[in-house]
Amino acid sequence: MKYHSIAIDGPAASGKSTVAKNLAKTLNYIYIDTGAMYRATTYKAISLGIDLEDQNAYDFLNNTEFVFKDGELYMDNLNMSVLNRLKAVANNVSLVASHKPVRNKLVELQQAIAKQSNVVMDGRDIGTVVLKDADLKIFMIASVEVRAERRFNELNKLGLKHTQTLSELIEDIQRRDDYDSSRAYNPLRQAEDAELIDTSDISIGEVTGLLYEKYISKLKGEI
């Protein structure tokens, strides 16, 4: 049986996770938030007290379980929705995600899921590394101001209203962009066959509808 996949990449808070989740629900596909897996790994590494700089200290991933239920990530049966947005996690996830052993392990897990089901997967290297043969590839961007405001509102909804100011979020997002785009291994970049979509002035609903139409049209062209 041939399984289908949609790859959505982009920088932090570009809207890719919300769009991917909505699109997966509409298509009845499994939604895989790869960024959540890196954040959860960071949370566990901090909890274990390992040296985050040591790329060889992440062998705990061999005994870590990641399960997606209704679009949310559970790591070792722990719902990571709120924990993944803690400031300590946000401040260190780019470092953790830059380690080759970490990326190799999580990419292996992500590809295994895609081989067993239809998926909508979002992250930073989906179209370039994880799902090179995805049926549809999208690269989403937005201005840093818009992205910071989205993240600010997201934190408020999670009950983390006072963890960071809007200006602090702008600085953090800019720092993360630079780190993710310049890392040596699997950096954030647009795949050659990915469509670029700027979501700065488009609602999440409109973007979801646009991608749905693009995807259905693409599938019909293959029949």
pLDDT tens track for 75-85: 999 999 999 98
Average pLDDT, the chain: 93
Alpha-carbon gap, residue 137 to 126, rounded angstroms: 8
Mean per-residue pLDDT, 142-166: 86
CA 71, distance to chain mean position in Å, is 12
Residue 207, amino acid: V
Task: For each of the domains in the chain, give its residue range(s) and CATH number, in order of start.
Answer: 5-205 (3.40.50.300)
- Given pLDDT bands bounded at 50, 70 and 90, which one contains residue 161? low
DSSP conformational letter for 92 = H
> Quick check: 9 and 140 in contact, CB under 8 A?
yes
Q: Is the pLDDT of residue 153 over 50?
A: yes
> Quick one: what percent of the chain has pLDDT higher than 70?
98
As separate numbers, helices (DSSP H) first and strands (DSSP E) second, the chain gives: 7, 8
pLDDT tens track for 109-138: 999 999 999 999 999 999 999 999 999 999
Highest mean pLDDT among 68-72, 130-134, 153-157, 183-187: 130-134
Category of 64 on φ-ψ map: left (φ > 0), alpha (ψ -120 to 50) or beta: beta
Q: How far is CA 13 from CA 2, 58, 149, 193, 222, in A?
A: 31, 26, 9, 22, 32
Q: What is the pLDDT of residue 158?
A: 81
